[in-house]
Structure 1
């Protein structure tokens, strides 16, 4: 599973989350040699709790007997009795499940398909590789475990439930706050802008996931109110930043239901004018799926906003079924490449080819390419080598309140620049 020529000083580059040290890692592989090499590598990383299983059934039986589930499972795909795909399906049924690193001798296309399946099942996937796995790739995968812990950015345990009454109250009392995740220009390593993200901590102090309250807002006709509430907070924060000499562009997400609201464009335009913010400092991100819900309304809203000078970004590019058609229909100024095309690309040639194609598409159209969900240095350097313009992700910055952003900009840019200067391009 793991290449045996592990660098002696590689452990110095591994900064593992405490959960991995406390709960350990399980290696599931029918090859005793691969289990042994993985065990040695994990020990070199300072992981003392390492479990082993020779097939999927033994692994699931062992999980049922342990007092706490290991933090990570290194999972082979081709195994007797129960293969890795079956293991993933069974893991999806567990209330507490490990994050997964896939390793297989299968071809890259099959590994990628299984990786997509795992993520669709709600499993935290840290990496998917062909055997033998390079220790550096494994280190990057384990390091990225940190990105799955923050309650603002990933589900932790059971999702907090809510209802439309609580949502209305939260909107009325301005309890849904805006956090910002920086986007970094890969040439200058300076902040190119931020994405505004709605965050809601209920009256009990629990974080309600956006995947819970945004569909609820759409279902009950509150998505327009939520969108305008986010916009108002963004404009207030932008004026505060401008007072401090920081002119930071902001991207705001628009849902499919928002695009269908007849007066939304007018409301946005009027509020921005009242606050005195030039339109070109604001970009509205729209997912591909939103563009096919109500095409005439979407075209009308997007075209009006673009006409007034706002940027329009196609979000999660490549996850829909008509990307080329959407690019030809809508006046986009930005193309955001989905995380699914970045994860694993440094280690897989065909994934790099797909990623390169998306970036070149943006270049040919003269629009900015932004890669989202960047979690490893290898991904960062690959994107830079391919000519991607901007990146965002946990490697560079987590979402933060507006009051913290200026401090981050002033104190943290030097470290981000060091990442590109001290590491070799992948």
Structure 2
């Protein structure tokens, strides 16, 4: 499972305390692979290492243990119970280890199983072909602290709910505020723009997820009012930025129901003209799924906005069912690549090939490519090497208010651009 050529430079890697406290379980039918993984983990300072020769034995051990191991190194091809079956069983457990997959199978299959594991709710730290390089294993294990922190935060938060009347009042009183996530141009190494994101904090100071209030707005005919409320805030913020000499383009999301509203394009155009913002500074992001709800209405709204000079971006590209057909039908100026095609691409050739194809498609069509959800320097370096135009994600900046954005530009932008420069030379 692990290459026996362990590097002494990895002996001092900083692993999460739970890995040391709870240990790691190695599940592999090869005694040699279990032994090499054991040696590697010992070199990392992990003293508690458990072993199982197949999936059934591993699950039996877990059932008898007082404390679940923090991580499981899991082979896929095993007798009695294979790794896929193990993942399905782990998903049913209230306390389950994070998983590092290792397999002799081809990368396409490994990638498919990795996607399955994440869809099941298993915390996946990495997926590799055997033998796993100690450096790759170390990188995977160091991700454990990130996964644990996210789970601990989510487990303590109860999602807030809302009804249509509350949402309507919130829109009328401008309680739904706009936050902005910056995008960086990977060629010029400058800020390329920001994406506007709606954020709702109710009277109880509870944050209500967009996954709750966006569908609610669509269902009750409030999505048009919500869209225009967001647009008004964006235009006000843009004017304030312009007074400070910051001419930052903004991307705004349009939902499927918005596209179907007959007069929405007129409302948008009139408001932008009234605020004196040139149309080419605003891009509307539209998901693939929105394009098939009402094709004639979508074509009319998008074409009118494009005719007036607004940018049109196909959001979450690749997650729909007819991407090529949509690109041929609509006048897009930007292709936004979904996070699911970026995560894991530095480690998996199969994913790199898909990512490369999406970027090259944008180049051939003469439209800008934007990678969203960039979280690691390895992902950033890969995107630059493949010629992706822009990047957006937590590595560069989290969403923030319009006022905080100006502080970020003044205080943090150069530091983030330095990461991009390092990635280009690394």
Aligned counterparts, 1:321-336, within 5 A? 321-336=321-336
Q: 1:50 to 1:359 in 2, by over 3 A?
A: same
Q: 1:214 to 1:318 in 2, by over 3 A?
A: same
5+ residue gaps, structure 1, are none
Query: Which segment drifts farther, 300-309 or 401-410?
Result: 401-410
Give TM-score scaled by structure 1 length: 0.86
Cα distance in 2 for residues equivalent to 1:230 and 1:150: 31
Please name the residue that 2:81 is paired with.
Answer: 82
Residues 111 and 348 of structure 2 are in contact (CA less than 8 Å); yes or no, is this contact kept in structure 1? no
Alignment RMSD (CA, Å): 3.2
Q: Which has the larger Rg?
A: 2
Aligned counterparts, 1:50-69, within 5 A? 53-61=52-60
Please name the residue that 1:263 is paired with.
Answer: 263
Residues 100 and 125 of structure 2 are in contact (CA less than 8 Å); yes or no, is this contact kept in structure 1? yes
Matching of residue 412 in structure 1 with residue 409 in structure 2: no
Q: Secondary structure at the residue paired with 1:406?
A: helix
CA apart distance, 1:314: 0.7
Q: Secondary structure at the residue paired with 2:200?
A: strand
Please name the residue that 1:344 is paired with.
Answer: 344
Q: 1:144 to 1:220 in 2, by over 3 A?
A: farther
Q: 1:423 to 1:248 in 2, by over 3 A?
A: closer
Please name the residue that 1:2 is paired with.
Answer: 2
Cα distance in 2 for residues equivalent to 1:367 and 1:131: 39
Residues 155 and 209 of structure 1 are in contact (CA less than 8 Å); yes or no, is this contact kept in structure 2? no
Residues 55 and 79 of structure 1 are in contact (CA less than 8 Å); yes or no, is this contact kept in structure 2? yes
Q: 1:88 to 1:327 in 2, by over 3 A?
A: same
Give TM-score scaled by structure 2 length: 0.86
CA apart distance, 1:364: 0.9
Residues 259 and 301 of structure 1 are in contact (CA less than 8 Å); yes or no, is this contact kept in structure 2? yes
Cα distance in 2 for residues equivalent to 1:383 and 1:78: 32
CA apart distance, 1:295: 0.6
Query: Which segment drifts farther, 46-55 or 246-255?
Result: 46-55
Residues 102 and 128 of structure 1 are in contact (CA less than 8 Å); yes or no, is this contact kept in structure 2? yes
Please name the residue that 2:162 is paired with.
Answer: 163
Query: Which segment drifts farther, 276-285 or 115-124?
Result: 115-124
Cα distance in 1 for residues equivalent to 2:370 and 2:256: 21
Residues 147 and 394 of structure 1 are in contact (CA less than 8 Å); yes or no, is this contact kept in structure 2? no
**How far does the alpha carbon of each residue in 1:23-68 deviate from its partner, in whole angstroms, 9 at most, with x for none?**
6655444444444544555565566666655443454455556677
CA apart distance, 1:318: 1.5
Cα distance in 2 for residues equivalent to 1:95 and 1:224: 42
Please name the residue that 2:182 is paired with.
Answer: 182
Query: Which segment drifts farther, 379-388 or 194-203?
Result: 194-203
Aligned counterparts, 1:258-337, within 5 A? 258-337=258-337
CA apart distance, 1:320: 1.6
Matching of residue 136 in structure 1 with residue 135 in structure 2: yes
